Structure 1
């Protein structure tokens, strides 16, 4: 870590209010060239607000910013880019302009700021874009539409553009949330190059393995203030305790209830040519499946929920043959899926009829709740208030919409939707995405408080799997492998897994 006398960026006593909510309450942060600083904090701690202020998207109510020792005023994101601050958003759709080519997006800053005319010859523009991409992502398809890029390619494009625009500070918001293990390794290697070149990196992530791997220093926010700082090697247990205001209890694995398995899978092939897999879940058991992006985790859950057909094999639900024809059939038999992208699968736009928390929690169960077809809003609201209290959902009322909630509270709403009618099998796909460790602890407690339900959970983060499951399985190439690992030696196993990924283990796309 660089120890230059003058910081690249220093923020002092930043205040930011949203009505009666104090999002930042005198927050300080200092960044030096050539260091990676992890920004940690529970949902609602102020991380997103701090990032918005540093990116110029919003302005503080009080406090000061200094850039290389001089006062800095950021009235817009364009001011931040001009100063040398580039933000790579978690929502990768925000990193470019659909309808323009990759080459045009690489040169977007120059084209939009009048430093070059749009009538530049296409061949010359493409050649210049190839030079921009050469040091970071030479394989980017320069003629492709930005809309056709995957999340990893969009992030590489944004980083290449940041280098081209001579950024000195890059802010990364949950950069590995949508990346495979191989793509994450590629990102880590690139960030090491940028750090060596003197760039400062502010890295925002809930994934503790990422922070352990890459950060020189961690700054922890709690209630809008800096609650602590930790230097590498990071003491993540202490950092997490600092985030949540105390230590979190350790999970005690438990066997499921004896008797007939709730779910039994034998000889199932998730796609032609894949090895058959076997799986058994008892009532009251939580089983996690972890593996790289594209290993088949989501395909298995979709098959069990009736979204995809099975390729042979035998599936049994409480000892009886189970062939879900479609999701409605699965829901009717108590098999529920909380899909990976809650905004696409579980929520509606805020201005849409039925977008309130009460309506969303009840949506799949309306026929059961109101068999006569007449929906009584008061009954929905009362039911929602009960589940809001049970799961500790932080909101103003059951008439709020999900966009008003933090990621952890949004996920609690999704869980409440499926828990209110006790599932026989609950399928959870990446349930902790965008959720801090404190909210994750609440979700884990709720998931494990269903004694008659079997839970099958898919996550690409082994630490998340170990935090919730009684058993952990690894999926590779669309088949399952047992993991002889417990909570005590989780760190050792995670380290060995990272080393294996770094050695370029083969991955199979879904």
Structure 2
């Protein structure tokens, strides 16, 4: 009797290499992913995760190495070829999902319209029928006539997944898919991904969120400096994976600050919207307050109101006992109230053709007017501040003069945060400062925030409760536009405790 042949992995990489000039992004990467398996890909920013995903998607080509799909060697020279060979990707950016002004049905069929393979007669009935077939394939229950812009972020992600699944992929790649989702939306997405696993799809899942990895991963593969440094089977020891990723353990605890003096910043009887409950808020000197809540809870709206992007519906604010009614960002910055927005590309980046697109230029731009001497650009001061930020935040950049676009996502975020520590602040507002950064970079950022926190008030707005516990001296929970709870960090449930696990698994 002839012995049965072993089933080849759905995806196999052998000795994959990629360099950008002198920088080795990937070095002899070997990886197998089997049908019905979820492999979580972990790695510090700049470890090579994005490069590997781009090679599999056909966006970039490897310098050398082999890729096999179900035992067959394949060449992937374009995204279309990747799709033909059974590899599809769902990216982090919602902007890549579709066209906001088109209907959900039209967006579900967008790839067909773009390639000319759509319904021969594109009547509303035909479009709806084909779109319904795609939606039902992943259990997506959604109003097909709604505009894409009017549906939730989770449903937009699910629309992208429904399009991808319609090609009956062998391998699916998920790149930080929960970065902008609430806990409930994340759970909805997890159920779909688990259904794909059950149907035999091989999945590579890239995430910096340990809760995602605990929930989904059958195996964790760690990239470090372009090489696979470790692999862990389920149940995954997260601390060991982090150690393999960054080369050391994270600190078990950080000193917490308390403030006995008068608060630097106060809010009284505030409402973000007329019909919502009112709330108060005090932040003392040296204190770091973490405001946490799901998407749409009001945390970003509160940050914007404090910075002067829009007014409170009701209530009063004081900055060091002076009424605080900012007319806009210019007045806020001049008064020492600094704000790093959630969307770093929209609020903090310059096009690469602009002089201020470099690391040094990005950091110095808000302060150029006060740094000028006799109308001349403060080149020396700009360089000195940038070099100090690179050292303080552990920014990995070839020099302070490289464009921000040349840096990894985590290092870009460090530059954005370093900008607002270039001068002393009275009140520092950070909206989702850890979005898209690995745990090592997060640790660098928290350490830099704490080191510089004396004498100012700091409010950090995060949707991830685990992040709130790590950064905050006090944890404020916001729901429906109002502060619902105020808890000292040392009395909150620690992220590592069994009691916290159910909550963290769906964050």
Do the two structures share a fold, i.e. TM-score over 0.5?
A: yes
Secondary structure at 1:375's aligned position in 2?
Answer: coil
Question: Any stretches of 5+ residues in structure 1 without a counterpart?
Answer: 503-510
- CA deviations 1:254-308 (Å, max 9, x no partner) are 2334311111222222221222212221211111111101111111111111112
Separation (CA, whole Å) in 2 of partners of 1:118 and 1:431: 47
| Contact 2:473–2:488 (8 Å) recurs in 1 | no
Cα pair distance change 1:446/1:180, threshold 3 Å: same
Partner of 2:3 in structure 1? none
Q: CA deviation at 1:233?
A: 1.6
Cα pair distance change 1:170/1:142, threshold 3 Å: same
Selected match of 2:471 from 468, 486, 491: 468
Selected match of 2:494 from 477, 489, 496: 489
Partner of 1:50 in structure 2? 52
Partner of 1:187 in structure 2? 189
- CA deviations 1:290-339 (Å, max 9, x no partner) are 11011111111111111121233332222332222222221122111101
Separation (CA, whole Å) in 2 of partners of 1:297 and 1:6: 48
Q: CA deviation at 1:208?
A: 0.8
Q: CA deviation at 1:182?
A: 1.5
Cα pair distance change 1:412/1:138, threshold 3 Å: closer
| Contact 2:360–2:400 (8 Å) recurs in 1 | yes
Partner of 2:480 in structure 1? 477
Selected match of 1:217 from 215, 219, 234: 219
- When the two chains are superposed, the root-mean-square deviation of aligned CA atoms in Å is 2.3
Q: CA deviation at 1:100?
A: 5.4
- CA deviations 1:144-164 (Å, max 9, x no partner) are 555665532332112111221
Selected match of 1:206 from 208, 213, 217: 208
Cα pair distance change 1:255/1:121, threshold 3 Å: closer
Instruction: Using the TM superposition, name which of 14-23 and 256-265 deviates more.
Output: 256-265
Partner of 2:125 in structure 1? 123
Cα pair distance change 1:415/1:125, threshold 3 Å: closer
Question: Any stretches of 5+ residues in structure 2 without a counterpart?
Answer: 1-5
Selected match of 1:391 from 379, 390, 393: 393
Partner of 1:441 in structure 2? 443
Cα pair distance change 1:270/1:105, threshold 3 Å: closer
Separation (CA, whole Å) in 1 of partners of 2:24 and 2:46: 10
Partner of 1:250 in structure 2? 252
Q: CA deviation at 1:248?
A: 1.4
Secondary structure at 1:125's aligned position in 2?
Answer: helix
Secondary structure at 2:451's aligned position in 1?
Answer: coil
Selected match of 2:232 from 230, 233, 250: 230
Secondary structure at 1:448's aligned position in 2?
Answer: helix
Q: CA deviation at 1:226?
A: 0.8
Partner of 1:507 in structure 2? none
Separation (CA, whole Å) in 2 of partners of 1:324 and 1:267: 17
Separation (CA, whole Å) in 1 of partners of 2:469 and 2:158: 31
Partner of 2:462 in structure 1? 459
Q: CA deviation at 1:437?
A: 0.8
Cα pair distance change 1:488/1:116, threshold 3 Å: closer
Separation (CA, whole Å) in 2 of partners of 1:488 and 1:289: 16
Q: Tell me the matched-pair count.
A: 498
Cα pair distance change 1:483/1:193, threshold 3 Å: farther
Query: Given the alignment of the two structures, is residue 343 of structure 1 paired with residue 349 of structure 2, yes or no?
Result: no
Secondary structure at 2:368's aligned position in 1?
Answer: helix
Q: CA deviation at 1:444?
A: 0.7
| Contact 1:220–1:243 (8 Å) recurs in 2 | yes
Separation (CA, whole Å) in 2 of partners of 1:115 and 1:407: 36
Query: Given the alignment of the two structures, is residue 381 of structure 1 paired with residue 387 of structure 2, yes or no?
Result: no
| Contact 2:45–2:437 (8 Å) recurs in 1 | yes
Separation (CA, whole Å) in 2 of partners of 1:257 and 1:286: 10
Separation (CA, whole Å) in 1 of partners of 2:191 and 2:49: 25
Separation (CA, whole Å) in 2 of partners of 1:194 and 1:145: 26
Q: CA deviation at 1:443?
A: 0.7
Selected match of 1:306 from 285, 305, 308: 308
| Contact 2:358–2:404 (8 Å) recurs in 1 | yes
| Contact 1:109–1:165 (8 Å) recurs in 2 | no
